[in-house]
Structure 1
Amino acid sequence: MSENLDRLGAEGVAVWLDDLSRERLAGGRLTDLVEEQRVVGITSNPTIFAKAIRSGARYDEQVKGLARRGVRVEEAVRLLTAFDVRWACDVLRPVYEASGGVDGRVSLEVDPRVAHDTAATVAEARALWWLVDRPNMFVKIPATQEGLEAISTALGEGISINVTLIFSLDRYDQVLRAFLDGMGRAHAAGHDLTSIASVASFFVSRVDTEVDSRLDKIGTPEARDLRGRAAIVNARLAYRHFEQACAGDRWRALAAAGMRPQRPLWASTGVKDPAYHDTRYVDELVAPGVVNTMPERTLRAVADHGRIQGDTIHGAYGEAQQVLDDLEAVGVSYEDVVRVLEDEGISTFTASGNELFEQLDSALHAARTAA
């Protein structure tokens, strides 16, 4: 057991793994991480699945079967990924039960190509929810403008949702409103609110990557002093917005009816600049009721040499706002940064989905040719 990961749990931080593959499932490595490294949830995305299918022979038989049946690539992707997510949900089912449904969750993303189509996103969410058929699954929906209504609709139908690709505080406020709208609809429809869960995935390291690049171009001493500070303060201020939402009358009324909080989730927590300490996006974002989803390398780094020193968010709001003000003063526009990050995030999201579809299409073609 890791003392650092134990400390995180004691501070109210849920440790999730940002990776999933059939090799990890079949080889027992996921079970080991759950039992030994305090992993209580999993996130996945098209890039992760493309890598898993490309590098693992454990998908070959299922791909051959799908090819023999003449299954189209879109449905083949759903079937392959749903198989892994269902399996992972079963591995984590004891965690789900022990936590009263709070943790033990596994996320599966909607088709990236429908990120700007509300009706298609809702249809995809319904299909994935039905296909996996596990109560501890999350359907991941990106926080595009069109995705907000899809989030509310899906939650209103009793589907648990992981809202992904959040970069800005304004967008996060919209996500919080979409969550409340959805839970209000679920309550009106007679759903058991305790059975519906949600997290809001706020991306971290990419903010520093974008801001640091701009600061380096400015090149002044004042700009250099601000390197590596934007991502953490942005996330800390997001937590303040979460607390403010929790204190609202509508939130409290739905909570009294059984609604669970939509927990903030720190995503993209692997450090991209080697000059920074490799556990900074974990150490500096500790507060009760959050999730931190980490690639395995970051998880093991935290277990080995993380600097877990208690709550690092409360009491830092004033300083966090000052950093954003200082960035504006040296010429870095927060609004432009988050706009670029959201646009790039959706583009990367779509490109990853296309890569997955193209890769599986080639594998299906090869299987049909060999048959």
Structure 2
Amino acid sequence: MTTIDELAQLGTSTWLDDLSRDRLESGNLKELISTKSIVGVTTNPAIFATAMTQGTAYDDDFAQLKAERAKADEAVYSLAIDDVRNACDVFQETFEKSGGKDGRVSIEVDPRISDDADATIAQARELWNRVGRDNVMIKIPATDGSMSAISEALADGISVNVTLIFSLERYKEVIEAFKTGIRRAKENDLDISKIHSVASFFVSRVDVEIDKRLEKIGSDEALALRGKAGVANAQQAYALYLSELENASDLPEGTNLQRPLWASTGVKNPEYAPTLYVSELAGPNTVNTMPEKTIDATLESDSLHGDTLTNTAEESAQVLRDIAAIGVDLDDVFAQLEREGVEKFVDAWNELLESVTPRLT
């Protein structure tokens, strides 16, 4: 019984936040499943940028794509889709044993089109069909421009990972988009028992930005609140999940509730425990997607202390009130983080395209 297994008993599935051709071809991904109890994978443009620009695993594919005169964005998605499809096959047994909840592999739509709902849904459909595996999840960012695409994808029977959520207000919109999509899928006579979704709430980035503002304020009261916002914000999100989804009466029978997923769970401040965003965010019907460093830290620790999500609404709300009262504009923080989140993925995507272009010409 490992700490990851104990997390699973508490209700938190552990997914790996990384994927590469090397992991697939070396058997490393299979090993993580068997030895570290990993039950899913998430990817993003930054992850693929790292994977495709290091080592030699993609050399033969780039040579073939060059011969086919593929453009950079076509080549990158071709390689990413192959990796995700192969990872889906590796997780097929996990997918079946979990009834479709786990064994999931996520691939993200082009972040450059996050403000264009029509382009986003078109690409979500294309990725779903090209990967061609029931256990793929299509990642769509929780931006104003993409919100309707979330509902459209779910209505089509596409399993969706809604990503880049920072604020409770945005999460409320995501929940409504999920409900709308599932109701429409039911109206479309789809088997909604096969549709799964997660809502990816980013954690460590909240602490990075709020800690910076607390340190600028500089009072003892402000400094005492460092490292508390990320967990409190996520716990508030879980309270919203409980009230708006777990206790919902406006969803069709057979709906798989959209699970909260804790993302950006690698600790950025070395003064904080490496498992801070694991031990303090453990609880029923959740997912924690972790970089391997955080997975290893979790396996090496005995820091779990039960369900740290249920019955935390009042205490976590007070933490956020205290932070606001000391002078931190939380609305401004979350708006900035969402904007920067999209920009970082766009930058990673553009850097990846720039790096592969010479290999195709």
Report the equivalent of 1:98.
Answer: 97
Report the equivalent of 2:28.
Answer: 29
User: What is the identity, as a one-letter code, of the residue corresponding to 2:324?
Assistant: E
User: What is the identity, as a one-letter code, of the residue corresponding to 1:173?
Assistant: K
User: What is the identity, as a one-letter code, of the residue corresponding to 2:91?
Assistant: L
Q: What is the 5 A alignment of 1:39-54?
A: 39-54=38-53
Q: Deviations 1:4-45 (Å, cap 9, x if unpaired)?
A: 111101101100000000000100110000001010000001
Report the equivalent of 1:243.
Answer: 242
Q: Residues of 1 paired with 2:120 and 2:171: CA distance?
A: 19
Residue pair 1:283, 1:306 contacting (<8 A) in 2 also: no
- Does 1:307 find its partner at 2:298? no
Q: Percent identity of the aligned residues?
A: 48
Report the equivalent of 2:345.
Answer: 349
Q: What is the 5 A alignment of 1:153-302?
A: 153-246=152-245, 247-251=247-251, 254=252, 256=253, 258-302=254-298
Give 1:329 deviation, angstroms. 1.0
Q: Residues of 2 paired with 1:56 and 1:13: CA distance?
A: 33
Residue pair 1:201, 1:266 contacting (<8 A) in 2 also: yes
Give 1:306 deviation, angstroms. 4.3
User: What is the identity, as a one-letter code, of the residue corresponding to 2:5?
Assistant: D
Q: Residues of 2 paired with 1:362 and 1:282: CA distance?
A: 41
Q: Residues of 1 paired with 2:264 and 2:13: CA distance?
A: 15
Q: What is the 5 A alignment of 1:68-147?
A: 68-147=67-146
Q: Residues of 1 paired with 2:289 and 2:149: CA distance?
A: 24
Bigger mean CA offset, 313-322 vs 157-166: 313-322
3-state SS, counterpart of residue 63 of structure 1: helix
Report the equivalent of 1:333.
Answer: 329
User: What is the identity, as a one-letter code, of the residue corresponding to 1:74?
Assistant: D
Q: Residues of 2 paired with 1:306 and 1:250: CA distance?
A: 40
Q: Residues of 2 paired with 1:140 and 1:356: CA distance?
A: 18
Q: Residues of 2 paired with 1:334 and 1:306: CA distance?
A: 33
TM-score by length of 2: 0.98
Q: Deviations 1:196-253 (Å, cap 9, x if unpaired)?
A: 11100000000000000000000001101100000000000000000111212213xx
Residue pair 1:158, 1:186 contacting (<8 A) in 2 also: yes
Residue pair 2:53, 2:352 contacting (<8 A) in 1 also: no
- Does 1:359 find its partner at 2:355? yes
Q: Deviations 1:67-104 (Å, cap 9, x if unpaired)?
A: 10111122111110000000000000000011111100
3-state SS, counterpart of residue 310 of structure 2: coil
Q: Residues of 2 paired with 1:115 and 1:355: CA distance?
A: 18
Give 1:315 deviation, angstroms. 2.3
Residue pair 1:63, 1:363 contacting (<8 A) in 2 also: yes
Which portions of structure 1, spanning 4 or more consecutive aligned residues, are displaced by more than 4 angstroms?
A: none
Q: Residues of 1 paired with 2:142 and 2:358: CA distance?
A: 31
Q: How many residues are paired up?
A: 360
- Does 1:57 find its partner at 2:53? no
Q: Deviations 1:270-295 (Å, cap 9, x if unpaired)?
A: 00000000000000001100000000
Bigger mean CA offset, 324-333 vs 69-78: 69-78
Distance 1:359 1:306, change over 3 A: farther
Unaligned runs of at least 5 residues, structure 1: 366-371
Residue pair 1:263, 1:291 contacting (<8 A) in 2 also: yes
Residue pair 1:240, 1:317 contacting (<8 A) in 2 also: yes
Q: Deviations 1:302-351 (Å, cap 9, x if unpaired)?
A: 00114111101122211111111111111001111101111111111111
Q: Residues of 2 paired with 1:174 and 1:358: CA distance?
A: 35
TM-score by length of 1: 0.96
Residue pair 2:265, 2:288 contacting (<8 A) in 1 also: yes
